[in-house]
Structure 1
Amino acid sequence: MSANKKLVAVAALTLVSGLAHAQSQMKIYGYLETGVGSYKAAGAQSAVTKVESGNMMTSFLGFAGSEDLGGGLKAEFALETFIGVDNGATVPNQAGQFFGRASWVGLSGSLGKLALGQYDNPLFIAGLSYNPFGSSMVFSPTMRQYYNLGSTSSSRAVNLVKADTAWVNAITYETPTMGGFSGTLQYAPKESASGKDSSSYSVGLAYNAGPLSLMGTYTDAGANVNASTATAAAYPTAFKAGSLNGSYDFGFLKAFAQYTSFKYGSNSQQTVANLTSVSKANSYQLGVSAPVTASGTIMASYGQAKYKALGDDATNKIFSVGYD
């Protein structure tokens, strides 16, 4: 692609660089991972061996670009799709989108970054940043309980988060870092004339000072953050969630802790074990990671989710140990 190719950021109005000498940068990037695993489900006669992709982090391919507009302002975009290294297939997200990981355009500068389109949600960012297994949908207790991906079939395991990791139709603003503090504001208009639908918003506030890192989030999500029409119809008032997250790096060991509280609208309640109409849930995670070589780290994490219904509750527990 020509180095002078112009990038366009579309908002309520269209922004186009008028500088013929503006510098553009394009890149292709991604993450590829594959492995072999053997599994035996409870009650099964034999184990199943599989070649798999993306157990530690989902493999993906991305295309991104930026253009210097002058005065410290840049136009940017990103398109990212999940892929399966084990079979060469693209892997759609929960809504079946091809660019299911990210699809946005934006502007960034000294005042922060403004992005329009499908963009990572603050609750997801906090979830992956404060557990030793990151965004692993197989090994991270937090990710498995949030999204119930990579979990074995269980009546006591359901997705706590009633939306995907990145919100569609979103307006996202990231503040610059000031005194160790940074924030994210995300808003997704309902894009519907229906009175029962609602817009969605999510906020995140982080603080980083040397070995200490803290982040809190609050999310009020409606059906509009789910690109799937069927999913949107099922969850017209999806969920509310607040999370507190922290980590401290002692050098020889890094400790992680997370707590998230969920509340569900009447149409997004679900059945867990023998409970019906679960209206609330809480999840906890404690973890550690310790470097043992220049490139190797031992990790351990324990997560627990409690589901609350009328007069009863249920618990889902996950413990993971790994070496990366």
Structure 2
Amino acid sequence: MKKSLVALAALAVAGVASAQSSVTLFGVVDASISGYSNSSRDLKPTVLANNFRVPTYTNQGSVKVSRTALANSGYNSSRLGFRGTEDLGGGLAASFWLEAPISNDDGQTGISTFARRSTVSLSGGFGEIRLGRDYTPTFWNDTVFDPFGTNGVGTNLISTANGLFGGFSGYSAAATTLVNRPQIPNVGGSNYVRASNTVGYFLPPNLGGFYGQVMYGFSEQTKYDSGVFTPNVANNSRAGRYIGGRFGYANGPLDVALAYGSSTIGDQYYAGVTTKVNTLNLGASYDFGPVKLFGEVSKAKNKNDYEVTPILGGRPDIDLTGYLIGVTVPVGAGLIRASYSAVKLDTNQPFDFFNPANNLDPKANKLALGYVHNLSKRTALYATIARISNKNGAGYTTGGPGFYNGLAGTTFTPKSATGYDFGIRHAF
């Protein structure tokens, strides 16, 4: 009798396993020797001894900080994942996707989180309904229409700047420095690249080249039946919510898409203030054969919504605009990549007659050049070099150390940043 029960159990397990159409283990291991160099300068003039009681000061010149590292994710993000699909019949399928970031340069981070993607979905002729953590619609345009795929020192400035612009902890106009190139996604810091707790819908793939998606992310904040019982704590009522969508057309050499997203990054319940970052971008690419062109324009707005508008109008909106142009050129087994991107930050403050420098908008531009040599379909060697020019207080870097801030009594302003990646990528 016991043997019969064991046999039946084995048959049941085998039946469940056979219903699973496919389960795949996949990943990328990418390692590079990378270098970063950031220069800043003292803009204060030298003041000599005088009879006007003005303190003397000696200009400190320029300071350069640099770092060389064995890094990861210079060409493609290192990852390890599992995905599978079960055919439910009648054109219906259930799928899962669990993808974890890994830091293969030091081995410290493995499958500790599935922060890159963790979704379960149901798909059919109606399209796909996907639940979990996934890329946001607006970030898709950043990475699809970037010749460098938002990886390594060549990552376009639109992506870098927007990643800093929409942090949940609030926003400061001066917070424009990317101290270290992030290797591990922060699931609680921003909704810009990925959003958690989302429900997404994707159009079916048979619409003659038209495609699209919409996404809603829950804030998962506690609501109180009477608002007077809400704790007087910042960012505990609406922060974390996300809503967005992306629609495009891809046919032959042309691919173009428009995306919009709104992320609630903060709130003050009793002050009646909600802070949002709204992002709109348009990206396109066209493959001429000998060359493929890329382009993107983007505008993000950090704004406060007031239940009762303050007498003085409240804090002005902060605008971040940017654009990107890029190109890839196939050369035998290799690919040349190049891009130019630029961003500008506008705090919309009233004109300052006494400090003219405060009227200048922080801005930056970046030039990146790279080459990829494919040894096979899965293995490639790559090299990338990039340079950023910062102006009016902007402080964007390609990674590595932050800009030198100076000792007490000195003021250093970010100037330029350079970086390089030389590495190998293997996919499986």
Distance 1:164 1:137 in 2: 18
Unaligned runs of 5+ in 2: 1-9, 40-61, 166-173, 180-188, 228-236, 267-272, 306-314, 352-358, 373-428
Distance 2:95 2:134 in 1: 13
Give the counterpart of 2:163 among 141, 147, 153. Answer: 147
Structure number with greater Rg is 2
Maintained 8 Å contact 2:30/2:78: yes
Give the counterpart of 1:90 among 100, 105, 109. Answer: 109
Give the counterpart of 1:176 among 201, 204, 212. Answer: 204
Q: Show the 5 A alignment for 1:292-311.
A: 292-293=331-332, 295-309=333-347, 310=349, 311=351
Maintained 8 Å contact 1:302/1:320: yes
Is residue 65 from structure 1 mapped to residue 84 from structure 2 by the alignment? yes
Maintained 8 Å contact 2:274/2:304: no
Is residue 263 from structure 1 mapped to residue 301 from structure 2 by the alignment? yes
Give the counterpart of 2:249 among 182, 195, 207. Answer: 207
CA deviation profile, 1:32-61 (whole Å, cap 9, x unmatched): 100112333325677532111111222011
Please provide the CA RMSD for this pair.
3.1
Alpha-carbon deviation of 1:157?
4.2
Distance 1:68 1:22 in 2: 7
Is residue 76 from structure 1 mapped to residue 117 from structure 2 by the alignment? no
Alpha-carbon deviation of 1:209?
1.6
Distance 1:54 1:284 in 2: 24
Aligned position for 1:191 = 220
Aligned position for 1:253 = 291
Is residue 221 from structure 1 mapped to residue 251 from structure 2 by the alignment? no
What one-letter code is carried by the residue in structure 1 that aligns with 2:328? S
Alpha-carbon deviation of 1:292?
1.2
Alpha-carbon deviation of 1:168?
0.2
Is residue 316 from structure 1 mapped to residue 391 from structure 2 by the alignment? no
**How many pairs does the alignment contain?**
284
The DSSP-based 3-state class of the residue aligned with 2:134 is strand
Alpha-carbon deviation of 1:82?
0.6
Alpha-carbon deviation of 1:138?
2.6
Is residue 23 from structure 1 mapped to residue 65 from structure 2 by the alignment? no
Maintained 8 Å contact 2:86/2:94: yes
Aligned position for 1:15 = none
The DSSP-based 3-state class of the residue aligned with 1:146 is helix
Aligned position for 1:287 = 326
- In the superposition, relative to structure 1, how do residues 91 and 164 fare at CA in structure 2: closer, same or farther (>3 Å)? farther
Q: Where has structure 1 moved over 6 Å in runs of 4 or more? A: 2-6
Aligned position for 1:14 = none
Maintained 8 Å contact 1:3/1:25: no
CA deviation profile, 1:65-86 (whole Å, cap 9, x unmatched): 1111111111111111111111
Alpha-carbon deviation of 1:245?
0.6
Maintained 8 Å contact 1:140/1:301: no
Q: Show the 5 A alignment for 1:26-175.
A: 26-42=23-39, 47-90=66-109, 98-141=113-156, 142-147=158-163, 156-157=176-177, 162-175=190-203
Alpha-carbon deviation of 1:23?
3.5
Distance 2:202 2:177 in 1: 33
Query: TM-score normalised to the size of structure 2?
Result: 0.60
- In the superposition, relative to structure 1, how do residues 180 and 248 fare at CA in structure 2: closer, same or farther (>3 Å)? same
Maintained 8 Å contact 1:73/1:109: yes
Maintained 8 Å contact 2:195/2:242: no
Maintained 8 Å contact 1:4/1:23: no
Unaligned runs of 5+ in 1: 7-17, 225-234, 268-275
CA deviation profile, 1:99-156 (whole Å, cap 9, x unmatched): 110111111112111111101111111110111111315312133233259xxxx965
Percent of pairs with identical residues? 29
Distance 1:58 1:316 in 2: 25
The DSSP-based 3-state class of the residue aligned with 1:138 is helix
Higher relative contact order (CA 8 A, sep 6+): 2
